């Protein structure tokens, strides 16, 4: 049996995150000892390992919940898991394309500066005037 601290150490998932996963039903509720402390078995360790790996790959919690509910049998479950994985891959590729576009624009902007001391800073001017961008890149959404 693992305490929540031992589970955290074994998986690299912070204790508050483990509690949150339990709260939202992603991780099955832990048993409790006589002192009312959480105790997790091997199944809890494996479930948390699955969740962490899926999160590391960028899967949304809702997708992870669906994936965890699948029994792993070939057929419809396998097709659903594949659909979710392919959708995640599409999202990652879209983010990569977006980041490449941003990198190109930032590289272009950084080359505007000649390091001079006179006049106005061309980098700051470009950042302050979106119309000076070479392409429309819209607002940046950060991954949490």
- Structural domain spans, the chain: 1-58, 70-144
d(CA 81, CA 135): 36
Question: What is the CB-side half-sphere exposure of residue 47 using CA atoms within 13 A?
Answer: 18
Task: Return per-residue pLDDT of the chain as tens, 144 residues.
Answer: 899 999 999 999 999 999 999 999 999 888 888 888 889 999 999 999 999 999 999 999 999 999 999 977 778 888 999 999 999 999 999 999 999 999 998 888 888 776 666 667 878 888 887 777 777 766 555 554
For the chain, helix, strand, coil in percent to 5 are 60, 5, 35
- Name the pTM for this structure: 0.76
Cα separations (Å) of 107 from 23, 101, 136? 44, 10, 15
CATH number of this structure's domain 1-58, picked from the four choices 3.90.79.10, 1.10.3720.10, 1.10.1660.10, 3.40.640.10: 1.10.1660.10
């Amino acid at each position: 049996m693992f305490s929540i601290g031992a589970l955290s150490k074994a998986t690299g998932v912070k204790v508050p995150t483990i509690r949150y996963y339990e709260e939202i039903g992603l991780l099955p509720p832990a048993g409790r000892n006589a002192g009312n402390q959480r105790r997790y078995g091997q199944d809890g360790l494996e479930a948390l390992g699955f969740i962490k790996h899926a999160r590391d790959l960028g899967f949304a919690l809702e997708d992870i919940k669906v994936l965890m509910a699948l029994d792993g049998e070939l057929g419809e479950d396998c097709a659903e898991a594949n659909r979710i994985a392919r959708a995640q891959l599409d999202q990652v590729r879209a983010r990569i394309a977006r980041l490449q576009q941003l990198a190109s624009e930032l590289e272009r902007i950084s080359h505007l500066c000649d390091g001079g001391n006179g006049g106005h800073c061309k980098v700051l001017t470009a950042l302050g005037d979106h119309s000076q961008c070479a392409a429309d890149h819209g607002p940046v959404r950060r991954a949490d």
